[in-house]
Amino acid sequence: MTYTVGMYLADRLVQIGLKHHFAVAGDYNLVLLDQLLLNKGMEQIYCCNELNCGFSAEGYARSNGAAAAVVTFSVGAISAMNAIGGAYAENLPVILISGAPNSNDHGTGHILHHTTGKTDYGYQLEMARQVTCAAESITDAQSAPAKIDHVIRTALRERKPAYLEIACNISSELCVQPGPVSSLLAEPEIDQTSLKAAVDATVAFLEKSTKPVMLVGSKLRAANALAETETLADKLQCAVTIMAAAKGFFPEDHAGFRGLYWGEVSTPGAQELVETTDALLCIAPVFNDYSTVGWSAWPKGPNVILAEPDRVTVDGRAYDGFTLRAFLRALAEKAPARPASAQKGSVPTFSLPATPDEAGLTNDEIVRHINALLTSNTTLVAETGDSWFNAMRMTLPRGARVELEMQWGHIGWSVPSSFGNAMGSQDRQHVVMVGDGSFQLTAQEVAQMVRYELPVIIFLINNRGYVIEIAIHDGPYNYIKNWDYAGLMEVFNAGEGHGLGLKATTPKELAEAIAKAKANTRGPTLIECQIDRKDCTDTLVKWGHKVASANARKTPLA
């Protein structure tokens, strides 16, 4: 069988587990798209624009482990780069593949369409380098296999996005057939001496402690160590807290679970546990201005053990040369038992009284209903805004997943990301919580949920504005044009889809809408939940004030 560069790439993507890739067509990538279509192991999925295409792939990588987005040169790829920056921030291996100018044009002084009008077409590769872990330009068939393999291998190993651009005349040129995929998937070698030293130092530290606490962070899933963390918790039996961006990364029915640590907006009791322990084992944390509540809740000092994806720091000494997964496994074998029952607190559970059927709809009532909807099979996607704080107060059944984008924080992310996530895990129920302001950025991707008949349930919380911004720093820019959000579904159906748009202004209407959403299995259901602008979580307001004052710090006086 003769092979082409495009076929080689398609084979590699299928070999690493992709059953779909996301695309927007353009004349620099049309031949490549044809080549990818030849591979029947992978379906081509279309998006409305390249930003959404990037976010769809990002969501697919969340549910499927890796993803690919195929776009055209500059006008496409530069839009997609925002989402690729997001994938970098969120540790997701997304391969961005851009069509590129014909190899015969390089160096000729030709001015090409879809470029900045300069005759050097290298600027896109330079830009991509800033938001990826590996970037290659393919302008000949012979070097293509090595470049494709390098990009894919690096993305998988580093859990970061990577970039390929392929000159538009090269994707159909002949090249070799790919060999076994094992070299792309190989785990790095482990330095056993360093690993043992790190484990011994950590055990010695924990043995001196009477009340160690674990703090689970958001890089844990990318480090592929969720199960190992639970095994360690079983062994230590200590109290376990999670950071906000790690919601769902530790089972909430675990006997040691003590809830969310987020400074002043922690689950009751969790702040005291974390801030007064003599040994805090931080696993894969990200300490940024948001997670530390404006730098007011940043665990540091001699009582902190920092177990990061690429290094472990104990007693001020850093150890590396092994994976976090290997470290947690080895630590679980030797860790002493330090039962949480000896400490204060219990497993937190969320419960709120129901409001009367005909009362106005409230934020609390929406959260109560969504929490009741969650099962072990739910993936809950929570957008930037009060949706973060609403997701944080829910109690998750074991197996339920939560998707957040707290490091990048691009409003509108949740719509395309949930589309891609649902495409990659069609056996699960996807539930989205998104604010009105966020929805306006990427609303059109709901049309693809209609097209591909994905039964995503979208709770659109219409509080008439950017309420999170009102909490941080108010001004006229936080008030937006209202839309008929539920009405959009008829527009997207255009007479041939199964999308359902509903409005809820009372608890009764919300309950009825949820029943209809559950019955609508052939398309998305958008439930526009109308609430008062002032009705938000008190945690949002408290957190917002702290972050605002950190943002407003003056320069030190000279």
Tell me how far, at minimum, the Cβ of 461 lies from ligand TPU, in Å: 6
Q: Which is nearer to ligand TPU, 318 or 480 (CB)?
A: 480
Contacts with ligand TPU, 215-244, as mask; x by CB under 6 A: ------------------------------
Q: Which is nearer to ligand TPU, 365 or 436 (CB)?
A: 436
Is the separation of the CB atoms in 399 and 380 below 8 Å? Answer: no
Among 263, 435, 455, 501, binds Mg ion (CB under 5 A): 435
Residue 436 makes contact with Mg ion by CB under 5 A: yes
Q: What is the rounded distance in angstroms from the CA atom of residue 411 to the CA atom of residue 389?
A: 15
Give the closest residue to 164 by CA, choosing from 133, 190, 142, 186. Answer: 133
Q: What is the rounded distance in angstroms from the CA atom of residue 203 to the CA atom of residue 16?
A: 37
Q: What is the rounded distance in angstroms from the CA atom of residue 371 to the CA atom of residue 102?
A: 53
Residue 412 makes contact with Mg ion by CB under 5 A: no
Contacts with Mg ion, 437-456, as mask; x by CB under 5 A: x-------------------
Among 251, 435, 507, 523, binds ligand TPU (CB under 6 A): 435
Counting DSSP H helices and E strands in the chain, the numbers are: 20, 19
Question: How far is CA 531 from each of CA 454, 473, 528, rounded to the nearest angstrom?
Answer: 27, 21, 10
Q: Which stretch binds ligand TPU (CB under 6 A): 63-71, 169-177, 267-275, 466-474?
A: 466-474
Tell me how far, at minimum, the Cβ of 480 lies from Mg ion, in Å: 8
Among 466, 485, 492, 543, binds ligand TPU (CB under 6 A): 466
Nearest-5° Cα angle at 440, 436 to 444: 125
Strand-strand pairing, 500-504 and 317-319: unpaired
Q: What is the rounded distance in angstroms from the CA atom of residue 510 to the CA atom of residue 5?
A: 52
The site that binds Mg ion (CB under 5 A) totals a number of residues, namely 5
Q: What is the rounded distance in angstroms from the CA atom of residue 56 to the CA atom of residue 117?
A: 30
386 interacts with, out of ligand TPU, Mg ion, none, CB within 5 to 8 A per kind: ligand TPU
Q: Which is nearer to Mg ion, 238 or 467 (CB)?
A: 467
Q: Which stretch binds Mg ion (CB under 5 A): 183-191, 296-304, 447-455, 465-473?
A: 465-473
Tell me how far, at minimum, the Cβ of 349 lies from ligand TPU, in Å: 24
Residue 101 makes contact with ligand TPU by CB under 6 A: no
Q: What is the rounded distance in angstroms from the CA atom of residue 202 to the CA atom of residue 207?
A: 9
Q: What is the rounded distance in angstroms from the CA atom of residue 90 to the CA atom of residue 110?
A: 39
Among 170, 468, 514, 547, binds ligand TPU (CB under 6 A): 468
Which alpha helices (H) appear in 136-238, and where do they start and end? 144-158, 182-185, 192-208, 226-236
Q: What is the rounded distance in angstroms from the CA atom of residue 70 to the CA atom of residue 35?
A: 12
Among 26, 54, 424, 437, binds ligand TPU (CB under 6 A): 437
Q: Which stretch binds Mg ion (CB under 5 A): 13-21, 266-274, 347-355, 428-436?
A: 428-436
Contacts with ligand TPU, 390-429, as mask; x by CB under 6 A: -------------------xxx------------------
Non-local (6+) Cβ contacts of 405 within 8 A are 86, 89, 90, 384, 413, 414, 417
Is the separation of the CB atoms in 98 and 73 below 8 Å? Answer: yes
Q: Which is nearer to Mg ion, 128 or 467 (CB)?
A: 467
Residue 50 makes contact with ligand TPU by CB under 6 A: no
409 interacts with, out of Mg ion, ligand TPU, none, CB within 5 to 8 A per kind: ligand TPU
Contacts with ligand TPU, 328-367, as mask; x by CB under 6 A: ----------------------------------------
390 interacts with, out of ligand TPU, Mg ion, none, CB within 5 to 8 A per kind: none
Question: How far is CA 102 from each of CA 29, 265, 475, rounded to the nearest angstrom?
Answer: 11, 55, 49
The residue written with tokens 């074991």 in the block is 398
Binding site for ligand TPU (CB under 6 A): 384-387, 409-411, 435-438, 461, 463, 465-469
